[in-house]
Amino acid sequence: MRRMLSVWHVEFAKLGRQVLADAIDAVLLLVLLVPANFLLTVAAVAMMASDQPTWPLLILGNAINFSGFWAYFFFFESSSWQATPGKRLLKLYVTDLWASPMSNSRAVLRAFFVTLNFGLFGMGYLYAFFSSPSQTAQDYLAGTLVLSDEQAV
């Protein structure tokens, strides 16, 4: 387990590394969600051929994608890793505002806001240009920080 650190001894993650880590995670998520989306596309084509409405599949597809993104971020960032595979690769981890592991309720909130940020094409990253220490909108709203740990394994 990671040592508890005071906020004076932590290194805040640079925005570019956070964006790169999330891009890596987005690619992993796309690979994981392609089979479900492929099946939904095949079903939609079959429904269109028989003049049936396809809007239920659109709703189902969005629900699957949102749930997949949310679960990915929640389970990885609330685990002992405190990071998704993309963040772990770049030696980043997520904490609460006191550099302690996030509670499950914070992890639920953060996963929701990160998923929403992906749906809004990364608009939440813009907040980091106006905050100190480069805290994104999803981190501000969830009360979390992304820190850099060069000693992380």
Q: Which of 73, 135, 75, 80 has its CA nearest to residue 110?
A: 73
Coil, helix or strand at residue 24: helix
pLDDT at residue 6, as a whole number: 47
pTM of the model: 0.77
What's the sign of the alpha-carbon dihedral 148, 109, 100, 88?
A: negative
CB 148 within 8 A of CB 14: yes
pLDDT at residue 99, as a whole number: 82
**CA-to-CA distance for 49 and 127, rounded, in angstroms?**
45
- Measured CA angle at 99 (ends 95, 105), to 5 deg: 40
Structural domain boundaries in the chain: 7-148
pLDDT at residue 63, as a whole number: 85
Under 8 Å CB-to-CB from 142, ≥6 apart: which residues? Answer: 106, 109, 110, 113
pLDDT tens digits in sequence order for the chain, 153 residues long: 444 444 456 787 888 888 899 899 989 988 988 888 888 888 888 887 888 887 888 888 888 888 888 899 999 999 999 999 999 999 999 998 888 899 999 999 998 998 888 878 878 888 888 877 778 888 888 889 888 886 544
Coil, helix or strand at residue 152: coil
CB 122 within 8 A of CB 109: no
**Neighbour tally for 20: CB within 10 Å:** 16
Owner of token pair 């480069």: 134
pLDDT at residue 152, as a whole number: 47
